[in-house]
Structure 1
Amino acid sequence: MTAPSYTPAAGGTAAPGPAYTVRALTGIPEVRPGDDLAALIAAAAPDLADGDVLLVTSKIVSKAEGRILAADSREAAIDAETVRVVARRGSLRIVENRQGLVMAAAGVDASNTEAGTVLLLPQDPDASARELRASLARELGVDVGVVVTDTFGRPWRSGLTDVAIGAAGVRVLDDLRGGTDAHGNPLNATIVATADELAAAGDLVKGKAGGLPVALVRGLGHVLGEGSARELVRNPADDMFRLGTSEAVREAVTQRRTVRAFTDDPVDPGAVRRAVAAAVTAPAPHHTTPWRFVLLESEAARTGLLDAMREAWIADLRRDGKSEESIAQRVRRGDVLRNAPYLAVPCMVMDGAHHYGHDRRDAAEREMFVVATGAGVQNFLVALAGERLGSAWVSSTMFCRDVVRRVLDLPENWEPMGAVAIGRPAEPPKERPGRDPEAFVEVR
């Protein structure tokens, strides 16, 4: 059998780059649990040389390591390998698996294995690559790179490609930041996923159904070095697409917390306006728009409002006969608004409300508008959480509406419905106590 191979052609008149070849290795038999994978590869590539890179399909690594599971249900195996569901559509699940990889079905594969069994990914693909590299050094006395590959789909792109899930002796990322391109322009964001490019090149000659699980790249010795495929997994804090659409909505809802301590980091006004855009999609009676958001973006505006509110509060507490010590304690507890770098005051307007001239029906009409305003504020808080902003909805403006309207120069029919403190949380949120949804449900 002739092994498929690929040699890139040099074109144009520019100085050619490094020439390399990629070829699939033939003669590797069906791999069984306990097989010496290094010995099988060494027998198929006795000419292996320093600087070569081997691209090894994860399936044969899994088989050699005994990662074969008798399973009546592939879904149960996927459940067992899943750490976090990223997105779900029908029976398809994109998940984060035990290896930290985000992929379809946790990498559990029912193909290329006997009926009634499934293949799991290697338990530690980087460790598998290191062991294979060390064993080949002992077998043949060569210094090679090893990349363990698997097939992924990709966000934004149709089709599948091989990527690196384990690596040893290969620089998996090539950080070009700080350099310049051919025109002298600075490279500010260019980090090349070298190991993934190698994996994809190997897939060109291995194929998906050719029974050729290993490819050899020759001529790219400069990619050898220290590296781990873990470096290719994006840090969660930098991952803008960590969740699917419906999962992101649920995550924002469940991760929303009342945050009372903020960093000094400034708040992006654009993020707040995006949250307002989400707020005004809430349901409301009679096709009305009962929401207004007053955004206090200057220190003077925040301080002016909070000082006036504090004076009004202190006056109320004194009228109630509270001691000066008790008043001071209460005022200190209210400092969550003062310590926030950004404030928003949601207001309700009842333009479009029906007037029945009947106390009970008019009271119900007002309640509908209050509920709609609350729905808008909930949307606002959840959207802020989606922007990685903490918030605290504090009721204080409802107790001194005349003061708030006067200081902020608001129309008489705007009813302040609390104030929302906004900022970057100063510490990770505490675990929310578990609540059984069934405790809040009555079925009739």
Structure 2
Amino acid sequence: MSDAPAFHVWAVPGLPEVQRGDDLAKLIADAEPGLADGDIVLVTSKIVSKAEGRIITADSREEAIDAETVRVVARRGTLRIVENRQGLVMAAAGVDASNTPTGTVLLLPEDPDASARAIRDGLRDALGVEVGVLVTDTFGRPWRNGLTDVAIGAAGVRVLDDLRGGTDAYGNPLSATVVATADELAAAGDLVKGKAAGLPVAVVRGLPGAVGASESGARELVRSAADDMFRLGTSEAVREAVTQRRTVREFTDEPVDPGAVRRAVAAAVTAPAPHHTTPWRFVLLESESSRVRLLDAMREKWIEDLRRDGKSEDSIAKRVRRGDVLRKAPYLVVPCLVMDGSHTYGHARRDAAEREMFVVATGAGIQNFLVALAGERLGSAWISSTMFCREVVRDVLGLPDDWDPMGAVAVGHAASAPKSRPPREASDFIEVR
């Protein structure tokens, strides 16, 4: 049993109420002069903020949260999960109205990693020891009830233990295991500090392997946007998917996952439709030969129409080049309208309105499809060309006579991010009666 791994964690008593300008390293050294090399000192962010003067006067906590928020991740009632100025995703941007005078709020340290380095350097100067320092704060977690402390600042601590490339006890390769050591340490310290015991500092001893250089401090713990599969709450994700759905005209050579397109079709067919009908059909052109055959036939028909219009050959060539976006795309989809279940009234106005209902429903389905593709991180461009040569499209693709092609959707991985869209003021498009 003596060889079994073990560590010791304790809270540091005797710290005074921290004030603006206090030297935290000196206060900790006075309260715990027995610190040794390899110890890890866990410091609650609240006293760091107080020492650094991060107390501000605020008419309301909500205003302070607004000022510290970079991006709203999720909102439910008055609760907001946001990304704050430090890059942390947490409730209320880390703005705290407890244990601070009425009319004031406490903000997180401006640079928690720098705060941790300063405390570490100060303890080295005061006691001649090499310790690790973590600045901790309380977080909730996705999928889990309850709160725990995590590391928001680090110095001299290996915040992540990357086990990828190794093997487990059975010789199985480890391909995804990266342990958040700093967060585990922070949670251990919270067990002895408590939330209301007035013990803002703890020490962990017996884990010297966790002490060492860290290239970017606790920032290593923050998942990048590209790797964050849960970047937004439900309503925020829906709004962003709609507004970030952009027309993409240049694609990489990366293949398109057919499963992703099928999932987008599944989202498409949830659109509203008249008379409980299903007016959508999606023809997936997954082979290059099918795409080339269709686009060649459409090009010949287009050239024929343009010559009939009396266009010059130069003009025709320029217009035909507009179809290059479909040729360059690695995947094409031809959405079609079917009128199954439509009503016939024998009256021109009513029959025209009936068809318009089905056209609108088809457009809603295609918009669902485009938004879902964006959710799959696929770019798209909805091009109208198949609507101008429906007979050709039906013939080449072997479609039923009652399927009406409603354009073509180029699908692929965007070669570059679309340019920013100029903002549009919603009030310009609203009439209230």
Same fold (TM over 0.5): yes
Q: 334, 340, 354: which is aligned to 1:365? A: 354
* Cα drift, residue 314 of structure 1: 1.1
1:335 aligns with 2:324: yes
Q: Distance in 1 between matches of 2:403 and 2:286?
A: 19
Return the letter of the residue paired with 2:224. N
Q: Distance in 1 between matches of 2:42 and 2:248?
A: 48
Partner SS state of residue 176, structure 2: coil
Partner SS state of residue 34, structure 2: coil
Runs of 4+ off more than 3 Å = none
Identical amino acids, percent of aligned pairs: 80
Determine the structure 2 residue equivalent to 1:134: 121
* Cα drift, residue 436 of structure 1: 0.4
Number of equivalent positions? 431
Q: TM-score under structure 1 normalisation?
A: 0.96
Deviations 1:182-233 (CA, angstroms, capped at 9, x unpaired): 1111000000000000000000100111100000000111111122100000
Determine the structure 1 residue equivalent to 2:61: 74
Deviations 1:79-102 (CA, angstroms, capped at 9, x unpaired): 000000000000000000000000
Q: TM-score under structure 2 normalisation?
A: 0.98
Q: Distance in 2 between matches of 1:72 and 1:266?
A: 54
* Cα drift, residue 18 of structure 1: 2.8
Q: Distance in 2 between matches of 1:90 and 1:147?
A: 33
Return the letter of the residue paired with 1:434. P
1:241 aligns with 2:230: yes
- Alignment map for 1:373-412 (pairs within 5 Å): 373-412=362-401
Q: 413, 426, 434: which is aligned to 2:423? A: 434
Q: Distance in 2 between matches of 1:17 and 1:362?
A: 82
1:349 aligns with 2:343: no
Deviations 1:366-389 (CA, angstroms, capped at 9, x unpaired): 000000000110111111111111
Q: 172, 180, 200: which is aligned to 1:213? A: 200
Return the letter of the residue paired with 2:153. G
Return the letter of the residue paired with 1:334. G
Return the letter of the residue paired with 1:53. I
- Alignment map for 1:101-250 (pairs within 5 Å): 101-227=88-214, 228-250=217-239
Return the letter of the residue paired with 1:180. T
Deviations 1:54-76 (CA, angstroms, capped at 9, x unpaired): 01000000000000011120000
* Cα drift, residue 133 of structure 1: 0.5
* Cα drift, residue 16 of structure 1: 4.2
Deviations 1:138-170 (CA, angstroms, capped at 9, x unpaired): 111110000000000000000000000000000
- Alignment map for 1:85-104 (pairs within 5 Å): 85-104=72-91
Q: Distance in 2 between matches of 1:278 and 1:69?
A: 47
Partner SS state of residue 124, structure 2: helix
Determine the structure 1 residue equivalent to 2:280: 291
Return the letter of the residue paired with 2:316. I
Determine the structure 2 residue equivalent to 1:263: 252
Q: Distance in 1 between matches of 2:193 and 2:19?
A: 20
Determine the structure 2 residue equivalent to 1:33: 20
Return the letter of the residue paired with 2:346. G
Return the letter of the residue paired with 1:291. W
* Cα drift, residue 318 of structure 1: 1.4
* Cα drift, residue 19 of structure 1: 2.0
Q: Distance in 1 between matches of 2:9 and 2:291?
A: 65
Return the letter of the residue paired with 1:174. D
Determine the structure 2 residue equivalent to 1:319: 308
Unaligned runs of at least 5 residues, structure 1: 1-9
Q: Distance in 2 between matches of 1:350 and 1:53?
A: 70
Determine the structure 2 residue equivalent to 1:421: 410
Deviations 1:246-299 (CA, angstroms, capped at 9, x unpaired): 100000011111110011111111111111111111111111110000011111
* Cα drift, residue 53 of structure 1: 0.2
Q: Distance in 2 between matches of 1:304 and 1:237?
A: 37
